[in-house]
Structure 1
Amino acid sequence: MGNRKTSPLSTLFLVLIFTILYLPIFFLVFYSFNSGGTMYDFEGFTLDWYKELFADTRLLIIVLNTLLIALLSALISTVIGVMGAIAIYSFKNRKTKNTLLSLNNVLIVSPDVIIGASFLILFTMAGIKLGMFSVLLSHIAFCVPIVVLMVLPKLLEMSPTLIDAAHDLGASRWDVMRKVVLPYITPGIFAGFFMALTYSLDDFAVTFFVTGNGFTTLSVEIYSLARRGIALNINALSTLLFLFTIVLVIVYYFITVRNKPTGMGVRR
């Protein structure tokens, strides 16, 4: 199949879309180095806002809390999501499988405000104190369906003959899972983990409902700071988060390229 030539109009449209998406971010990054202290007139280059950011012990603790919640929720939801995807895949009844998929998808498309309010009511009724534990449970809950959606397509791509061949060679169910299924769906597992990590880092609405006194995450803290007035240390923090996100994307890209299956054999 020959290469299709991209029309100038399509190229212009793509450039326009990326400009609209990235221009506010670059604007924010640019003014994080402004010595004037405002986002109106750039008076000179400075790193004072980054120094002020790293001197703020409370904000650094919030950063660590956010990263801890994101890593734990991504790890736990990946384990649960992989098991859930395998369970859905194992169902032979198409109606049952579609019902479970629909229930999974409802959690993804539901508004965050409704999910957050629901968790707040649930934790209040259950007597669970709002704080780190409630935030962690909430993040795990909304990350699991994302992992399922990332892993399930890889399971559906896998030929059933691979599993049949492994059983014919005398492999146990655990051997089939460990040596055939998991290696095949590894790209989907990594994709689910990084998606869950990103969703957890970005979440505001759900976290806003379930966080308590003495514990908060970056999204809620940035919202609180922005309500008091725009300070350029917020720009500095946002710039570092943007760079961290880019690093995550690059790492995910290299991991998926490295784990891209070139062929699949059955090992006894």
Structure 2
Amino acid sequence: MKKGNKWGKLYLAVVFIVLYAPIFYLMFYSFNAGGKMSHFSGFTLDYYKEVFQDTRLLIIVLNTFVVALLSSVIATIFGVLGALAIRYMPRPFTKNSLLSLNNVLIVSPDVVIGASFLIFFTILGVKLGFISVLVSHIAFSIPIVVLMVLPKLQEMSPTLIDAARDLGASQWNVLSKVILPYIAPGVFAGFFMALTYSLDDFAVTFFVTGNGFTTLSVEIYSRARQGISLSINALSTLLFLFTIVLVIGYYFINKRNAKGTQGLEVPPK
């Protein structure tokens, strides 16, 4: 067992090195005064200043966060409703069918989803821009929220709902004071996952964005094609640090909500 644990830890270390080494390489050379991705010649913050002085880029950052926040909030609302519908669906066949359709959207290639949305918006005559990007992000975020919320619903004891109804609680009170507080960690997990996916998405956004509106992922791709610029490194570093802050924030929120839901457990008779 000890030998197996040793090889397992070594494997995990190699995986993390492979995943994070390129990111830290990019971050390190974002401070290179030489302007190249090799031969570090001095420390500078000029590329970060360049990012904050680029008005067009700041507008794109604002566009990205507006789309991410709006799509995450709306997707969380619909995702919670979808998870509730799947969990309490009386017919097993219908329940399994809805869950399978939800999972298909998770595993479908982004290129297929993006192309489908492009054809859909073209048929409807919708102008590509803010609305098309927002609708697309909501659509691919809803299945993520469903998968985050559904396990919390499945582990919730039915006796909680029965006890609330025995005490005279209405359907709304059961939902707002029993179910939602219990599944709050899953709701927050779904929201943050949707937010992260929206911020990072490139493939779907690339298909549905139009002239005059773009997001950071598409902008970074466009700039990278024009040649190496360490302002891209600086921008990517800021995005990575922001993602770390989101993960840390989710951890503490989830930890606090987990403590709060412990009091909702019904003790065994």
Could you tell me the TM-score, scaled by structure 1's length?
0.96
Residue 5 of structure 1 and its aligned partner are, at CA, apart by 8.8
- Residue of structure 2 in register with 1:258 after alignment: 256
- Residue of structure 2 in register with 1:66 after alignment: 64
Distance in 2, matches of 1:253 and 1:155, equals 20
Aligned sequence identity (%): 72
3-state SS of 2:37 partner: coil
Distance in 1, matches of 2:49 and 2:162, equals 60
- CA offsets 1:32-64 (integer angstroms, 9 cap, x no match): 000000102111100111111111000011011
- Residue of structure 2 in register with 1:168 after alignment: 166
Tell whether 2:4 aligns with 1:11.
no
User: How much is the aligned-residue C-alpha RMSD, in angstroms?
Assistant: 1.4
- CA offsets 1:144-200 (integer angstroms, 9 cap, x no match): 000000001100111111111111111110010011100000000000000000000
Q: Which blocks of at least 5 consecutive residues in structure 1 are unaligned?
A: none
Residue 25 of structure 1 and its aligned partner are, at CA, apart by 0.4
3-state SS of 1:170 partner: coil
- Residue of structure 1 in register with 2:213 after alignment: 215
Distance in 2, matches of 1:8 and 1:99, equals 43
- CA offsets 1:108-152 (integer angstroms, 9 cap, x no match): 111111100110011011011000000000000000000000001
Distance in 2, matches of 1:221 and 1:204, equals 10
3-state SS of 1:45 partner: coil
Distance in 2, matches of 1:197 and 1:6, equals 37
From 29, 32, 35, give the equivalent of 2:30. Answer: 32
3-state SS of 1:30 partner: helix
3-state SS of 1:7 partner: helix
- Residue of structure 2 in register with 1:46 after alignment: 44
Number of matched residues?
Answer: 264
Distance in 1, matches of 2:5 and 2:161, equals 46
Q: Which blocks of at least 5 consecutive residues in structure 2 are unaligned?
A: none
Query: How do residues 190-201 of structure 1 correspond to structure 2 at under 5 angstroms?
Result: 190-201=188-199
Distance in 2, matches of 1:19 and 1:89, equals 40
From 235, 238, 241, give the equivalent of 2:239. Answer: 241
Distance in 1, matches of 2:48 and 2:94, equals 53
Residue 93 of structure 1 and its aligned partner are, at CA, apart by 1.4
- Residue of structure 1 in register with 2:129 after alignment: 131
Residue 8 of structure 1 and its aligned partner are, at CA, apart by 2.3
Distance in 1, matches of 2:62 and 2:90, equals 44
Residue 265 of structure 1 and its aligned partner are, at CA, apart by 5.7
Distance in 2, matches of 1:225 and 1:16, equals 31
3-state SS of 2:205 partner: helix
Residue 96 of structure 1 and its aligned partner are, at CA, apart by 1.0
- Residue of structure 1 in register with 2:81 after alignment: 83
Residue 263 of structure 1 and its aligned partner are, at CA, apart by 2.6
Distance in 2, matches of 1:113 and 1:204, equals 10
3-state SS of 1:163 partner: helix
Distance in 2, matches of 1:6 and 1:30, equals 35
Distance in 2, matches of 1:217 and 1:98, equals 36
- Residue of structure 2 in register with 1:153 after alignment: 151
3-state SS of 1:259 partner: helix
Distance in 2, matches of 1:132 and 1:179, equals 36
3-state SS of 2:262 partner: coil
From 117, 120, 130, give the equivalent of 2:118. Answer: 120
Residue 70 of structure 1 and its aligned partner are, at CA, apart by 0.4
Tell whether 2:96 aligns with 1:98.
yes
Residue 5 and residue 248 in structure 1: after superposition, are their counterparts in 2 closer, same or farther (change >3 A)?
Answer: farther
